[in-house]
Each structure stands twice: as structure tokens, then as C-alpha cells.
Structure 1
Amino acid sequence: MDHLCVAHRGFSGVAPENTIAAFKLALEQPFVHWIELDVQLSKDGVPVVIHDFTLERTTNGMGRVKDTDWKDLQRLDAGSWKHEQYHGEPVPSLAQVLDLCKGRVSLNIELKTAGDMYPGLEKAVLREIVMRGMEGEVVLTSFERTALRRAKELAPDIRTGLIIDARPDDLAKQLENLQCSFLSMGYPRLDRKLLKDLASRGITVMAWTVDDRRIMRRLSSLHPELMICTNWPDRWEQVFLLSKPRIWHYIRKLIR
């Protein structure tokens, strides 16, 4: 399918976001092509997969991720807030997620930082990726442009992408200056003209975060290669696969 399905923080509509449970559930869906996740550093420098800078919303811990050692993060319950069946689901390390996903799905890894909040984040993340030979299976994205520049300095061939929820007139120029070939944009900012222009420049665009089926259908009409990021991959399936003639295209692809 052209409108590739990106599972936002895993299959986070059902399972607790950014956990192994959510990633495994996403991997069980044959139509999920990408998984998006967030990475920060523990106090002792371990890349960990969690969205918020603080622990309270998605774990039973308190305080900031950056002030907590990896051994203490591992003890936290990152699942009960979603549903009791996920009680005891831990905060995963990036290494654990890479090992799970290698060769199975591509990863959009957001460098979750602000300013100089995480010195060494880019190096630590790249070390885990390179160690597994997964450079071709990932894109590193961030709101923080300095993080993207550092990643490129450390690994010039790594694919990077800007995350933005705005529509500056010189967006294409900004992406060129950052050496980004990927753009992650809030879906209300997108239109046909922008997508056509970016595609002509070799920029892959992902729309986030789209959970409404009607909006998925509308976005699909803007450009055939637009990636769609969703908390509910099963809704993507209902829009793009469970309707004729798309379902037959998908079946033929599976049995080749």
C-alpha cells in the first residue's frame, strides 16, 4: 500500500504506549509498516523508550526520566494506567525495542529532548542502531533541530526528519539546510500542493496523529505516498484494506 501505516508508540490505542506490549501488538498486524517511538536518556545514560519528560502519566513513578537510573526505571509499572491486564509492563530500553523489531518493521525514532537536556542522546541512540546494523531500518526525528544536526554530524548517512506542527513558507529550505529527507507534520497543516512540492524534492511525509477514519480517507486523496501515523492501526486497515478493490491487492501481495 502507498499510504504506509505507522503505529504511533506501538498499537497504543489498545496497549500502553511505548511498551513492549504495544510494539508486539503492532508487529502482529501484517499491514503495519512502521512503528513510531520516543527515546530519552536515563540518569546513567541508557536510551529508554518513553514519551513524557516526567514519569507520572504513564508509570507509577515520580520525577523526571533524566533524574532516574535505568535500574530504577526497570522497576516501574508502565502498564496499569492503561488497563489492569498490563500491570507490571516495564519501561523498555531502546536496545530491547531494536532487538524486537529488527528485520520486521521500520522505526521512526523520535529524539525526545529540548535544548541541552540530554547531552549525548544522539550518540547513545546511534550506538545501539549501528551495533545492530539497523541504519537502513530507521529514521531519527525530532522537534529539536540541534539534535538532528548532531545526529548527522555523527552519522552523515543516517536518515533524519523534522517534526513540526507549523507551516513556515520556507519549510522546504529548512529541510534542505537540516539535510532531512523526512518530515513528520501535524495532519491539519497538510494539503495537496505542499505534498506534491515536497515529494518532488525527495521528502517523505508522515501525517500525525490520525485516528478518525474520515480524516484518513481525506488525507489519502492528497498524495499517494503520504504515510499515516495512528494510535489505532486497525482503523487504518478498515479504511485502506477492508474495501474493494484494495483488499485484493493486499491479498495478492501476501501470497506472492
Structure 2
Amino acid sequence: MFKNLCVAHRGFSGKAPENTLAAVRMAIALPYVRWMEIDVQLSKDGVPVVIHDYSLDRTTNGHGKVKDMNWEQMKRLDAGSWKGRAFRGEKMPSLEEVLDLSKGRLHLNIELKTVGNVYPGIEKAVINLISSKGMRDEVVLTSFEAGALQRVKEVDPRVSTGLIFDSRSGDPARLVHELGCSFLSISFERLNPNLAKLLTEQGVKVMAWTVDKAKEMRRLADMHSDIMICTNRPDVWGDTFLGV
């Protein structure tokens, strides 16, 4: 029996605008979706906001950098029209809004979108928020940035962390161990059976991204039953493994 958990990538982003409450609600509506991946940055005034790109231009009707706009301005932007007329007026959410909607329903893989010191204090801001909601056990904080993961542990060593890895070289198993991570987020093209086996035996959760085709989902399931499958199309996951 397969055990490969379904992780909704930026919510149900195959059908709804990514990283919006619409996408979160569509993911929650599927009973087999247990996890969701989202991206978090900071507004100019320090509010954790849910958006993937460093620029507002692709997924909202705003322009410029996320870090240069206050939350009061940002929350008025249209973050849905680019996906289709049905989502016109959908807003860009704060992390607090997503946490409130997800609590008790979905575990969250929150990617800290930061490079170097572009968002000073993002780790503390996010940790304070998840702690105030009592959601420390429902969340893992992930990043490409080793420094960000180290700062998370400095703020609160009880918070679970995960390394995001997409390099053609390097040793992700060694890096995960050195950084004290309990989670590896890795491109499905970079994952192999030996790495999956090694990490799961060490108690590290392995999530493969971004997998939208049934053939690749089955290949990952055959590789190891504990690999979490992150997808824009959780409905394809359901069709593949549950026949729903």
C-alpha cells in the first residue's frame, strides 16, 4: 500500500492562483491533501506575506519588489486575475491569514524566500507568528539559504527546518545533517533511491517537487514509500493513487 503523502504546491495552484486563499481552500477541500507548500517574504513594514516571486509583477497587478511595498498597499492588489476571470479580485494573503485557514487542517512547508540579508528578521517574524498560533508542530520552515536555517535554530531550536536542494553537485545528506534539519525538499529530478533510503532511515522527511504527471508520481512511489510528492495538481495525485 502506497504511503506517499500529497503536498499541494502553493495550494491547489494548478487550478487556482498560486499562494492565495482560493488555492488554500481548494487544497483543503481534498481530504487526501495533508500538506501544503507556500512561500513567505516580508513587506516593507515587516509583515510576513505569501508570495513566491521577489517581484509583484507576475502574480498581481502591482509592480516592483515585494520588499519595497507596505502591507496596507499590498493587500489591496489583485492576485487572481492573471489566472482567470473567475479569480478576479482574489487578494494576496498574509501568512497569518493562511495559518488561520490551515490550522488543524494542513501541515505547512513554509519556504523562507530570502537571499543573503534581503529580509533581515524574517525568521523571527515567522516563528513569532506560528508560535502565537500554537502551530509549531504543524510547520516546517525551509530555505535554499543555509544562513536562514541557522538563524531559525538560533531563534527557536524547537522549530523544524528543511533544506531546499536543487544543485547538480554537493551532498544533500551531509548538508541536512550539518544544518540540523529534519526535512529535505528536493527537485524530483535530483532524487534517487539511495538518497531517499538513507535519509528516511535517519528520520528525515523527503519531499520531491514539483511533480504533476502521473508517470513521475508512480516512479517516486516505487522509489520509496515515504517520499512526499509536491504537486500543482493534487487531483492528479488522487487519480493516480486513489482512483478518485
Deviation at 1:170, TM superposition (A): 3.1
State the AA in 2 paired with 1:30. P
Q: Provide the residue aligned with 1:251 in structure 2.
A: none
Q: What SS does structure 1 have at the residue aligned with 2:36? A: strand
Q: What SS does structure 2 have at the residue aligned with 1:188? A: coil
Q: What SS does structure 2 have at the residue aligned with 1:206? A: strand
Deviation at 1:168, TM superposition (A): 4.0
Deviations 1:161-188 (A, max 9, x none): 0001125453222111100010000001
Q: Provide the residue aligned with 1:170 in structure 2.
A: 171
Q: What SS does structure 1 have at the residue aligned with 2:185? A: strand
Structure 1 runs (4+) deviating above 4 angstroms are none
C-alpha distance in 1 between matches for 2:79 and 2:170: 40
Q: Provide the residue aligned with 2:82 in structure 1.
A: 81
Deviations 1:44-66 (A, max 9, x none): 00000000000000000000000
Identity fraction in percent: 58
Q: Is 2:29 the partner of 1:18?
A: no
Q: Provide the residue aligned with 2:238 in structure 1.
A: 237
State the AA in 2 paired with 1:152. K
Deviations 1:171-210 (A, max 9, x none): 2221111000100000011111111111111111000000
Deviations 1:134-159 (A, max 9, x none): 00000000011111000011110110
State the AA in 2 paired with 1:87. R
Q: What SS does structure 2 have at the residue aligned with 1:6? A: strand
Which range moves more in the overlay, 159-168 or 46-55? 159-168
TM-score (norm 1): 0.93
C-alpha distance in 2 between matches for 1:167 and 1:33: 30
C-alpha distance in 2 between matches for 1:215 and 1:190: 12
Q: Provide the residue aligned with 2:153 in structure 1.
A: 152
Task: Give the CA RMSD over aligned residues.
Answer: 1.0
Aligned length: 243
Deviations 1:41-90 (A, max 9, x none): 00000000000000000000000000000000011000000011111111
TM-score (norm 2): 0.98
State the AA in 1 paired with 2:119. Y
Please say if residues 165 and 172 of structure 2, whose CA atoms lie closer than 8 Å, have aligned partners that are also in contact. no
Q: Is 2:206 the partner of 1:202?
A: no
Matches for 1:2-13 after TM superposition, within 5 Å: 2-13=3-14
Matches for 1:207-218 after TM superposition, within 5 Å: 207-218=208-219
Q: Provide the residue aligned with 2:104 in structure 1.
A: 103
Please say if residues 40 and 51 of structure 2, whose CA atoms lie closer than 8 Å, have aligned partners that are also in contact. yes
**Structure 1 residue runs without a partner (length 5+):** 248-256
Q: What SS does structure 2 have at the residue aligned with 1:59? A: coil
C-alpha distance in 2 between matches for 1:218 and 1:2: 13
